[in-house]
């Protein structure tokens, strides 16, 4: 039977057992987003007190009391004979929350674009998670280093010298990371969350599903990474560095330390996340000349010897065509205001 009031521990156990289990489907992610304007609900199919299919859905209010946007990140989970029932439960949950449309970002899913469209979805004009990424296969250190470009290898080795300490941070040290996040955002001219967001993420996910790894030198915090893991995959979600002693290459050392943490967890893949949504030929021809948006980080991430992959992107299922049309027009106006055309 469909359930929406599910025990969070039962739901998390179900997600952890899925081959495609994702950190954004854990109940802790719903709690994190609930502190920042979202509402989280779980639509699930249960039999004999056991979850057999489900999805965590996030809802956010639209302006002018026009209902909500429903958002399904990196799910759903269902055996083939329960997919139709789960989509019915998801639709019912979305309508109870007055959703005008459902945005689905499936991630890496075993469905073609045609199969997703056949479920009643259309390509979305807006993504929330970056659709393209770089995945590093977590082999032995020598193999991984051999795949990297020469500059990245050299900087990793340099970061191991000069007495830099790499460690998993305690809760009391989170403020060092949040201070560096603000510095990083100003330096890179991009938005970051407020400090309380990262502190809450630490409290919700560390130590079971994440670690905050810091690099320090003579008491100075130099860089930090918040890395998450579930099953065989680790995700680099947040990274920061200070303006001090940048010649010590602590940003490379702390990334290498996060990769080692993922290997120790038994992960097979490390997801660097967030590169421009372009084919690899375009990425390679343009990255030296662009630093806007995600281009600024691509030059760093490309050197780690990973492979460029694209997920299924974002898809929308429309419940209210009138409000959805208004949403599309608002995105076009925003795009023109940002100078990126129609």
| pLDDT recorded at residue 340 | 47
- 2-129+312-337 and 132-310 share one fold: yes
| pLDDT recorded at residue 226 | 97
| pLDDT recorded at residue 3 | 52
What is the H or E stretch that residue 246 is in?
none
| pLDDT recorded at residue 341 | 41
Topology annotation, domain 132-310: Aminopeptidase (3.40.630)
pTM over 0.75: yes
pLDDT tens figures, 255-314: 999 999 999 999 999 999 989 999 999 988 888 888 777 888 888 999 999 999 999 999
Reduced to 3 states, what is the DSSP secondary structure of residue 21? coil
Q: Give yes or no for a contact between 183 and 236, defined as CB atoms under 8 angstroms apart.
A: no
76 prior amide bond cis, ω within 30: yes
Instruction: Write out residues in the chain with pLDDT < 50, as ranges.
Output: 1, 340-342
DSSP 64-114: GG--EEEEEES--B--GGGHHHHHHHHHHHHHHTTEEEEEEE--S-S--HH
Burial label, 4 (beta-carbon count in 10 A; 0-12, 13-18, 19+)? middle
Top CATH class of 2-129+312-337 equals alpha beta
Q: Measure the CA–CA gap between 254 and 154, rounded to whole angstroms.
A: 14
Q: Give yes or no for a contact between 255 and 261, defined as CB atoms under 8 angstroms apart.
A: no
Q: Give yes or no for a contact between 300 and 73, defined as CB atoms under 8 angstroms apart.
A: no
Q: Give yes or no for a contact between 55 and 86, defined as CB atoms under 8 angstroms apart.
A: yes
The domain locations on the chain are: 2-129+312-337, 132-310
Q: Measure the CA–CA gap between 52 and 292, rounded to whole angstroms.
A: 43
Q: Measure the CA–CA gap between 193 and 61, rounded to whole angstroms.
A: 19
């Amino acid at each position: 039977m469909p359930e929406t009031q599910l025990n969070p521990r039962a739901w998390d156990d179900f997600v952890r057992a899925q081959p495609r289990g994702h950190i954004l489907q854990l109940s802790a992610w719903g709690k994190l987003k609930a502190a920042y304007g979202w509402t989280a609900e779980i639509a699930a199919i249960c039999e004999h007190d056991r979850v057999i299919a489900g999805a965590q859905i996030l809802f956010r209010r639209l302006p002018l009391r026009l209902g909500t946007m429903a958002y399904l990140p990196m799910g759903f989970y269902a055996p083939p004979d329960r997919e139709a029932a789960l989509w019915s439960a998801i639709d019912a949950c979305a309508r109870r929350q007055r959703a005008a449309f459902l945005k689905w970002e499936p991630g890496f899913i075993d469905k073609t674009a045609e199969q997703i469209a056949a479920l009643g979805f259309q390509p979305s004009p807006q993504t929330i998670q970056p659709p393209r990424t770089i995945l590093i296969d977590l082999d032995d250190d020598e193999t991984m280093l051999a795949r990297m470009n020469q500059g990245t290898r050299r900087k990793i080795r340099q970061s191991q010298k000069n007495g830099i300490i790499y460690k998993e941070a305690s809760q009391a040290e989170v403020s060092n990371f949040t201070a560096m996040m603000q510095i990083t955002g100003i330096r890179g001219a991009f938005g970051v969350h407020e400090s309380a967001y990262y502190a809450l993420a630490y409290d919700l996910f560390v130590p079971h599903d994440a670690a905050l790894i810091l690099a320090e030198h003579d008491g100075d915090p130099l860089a930090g990474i918040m890395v998450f893991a579930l099953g065989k995959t680790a995700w680099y979600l947040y990274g920061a560095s200070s303006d001090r002693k940048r010649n010590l290459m602590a940003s490379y050392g702390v990334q290498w330390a996060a990769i080692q943490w993922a290997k120790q967890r038994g992960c097979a893949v490390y997801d660097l996340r967030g590169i421009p949504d372009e084919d690899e030929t375009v990425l390679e021809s343009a990255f030296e000349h662009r630093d806007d948006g995600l281009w600024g980080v691509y030059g760093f991430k490309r050197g780690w010897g990973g492979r460029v992959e694209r997920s299924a992107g974002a898809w929308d299922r429309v419940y209210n065509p009138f409000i959805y049309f208004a949403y599309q027009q608002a995105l076009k106006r925003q795009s023109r205001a940002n100078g990126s055309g129609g």
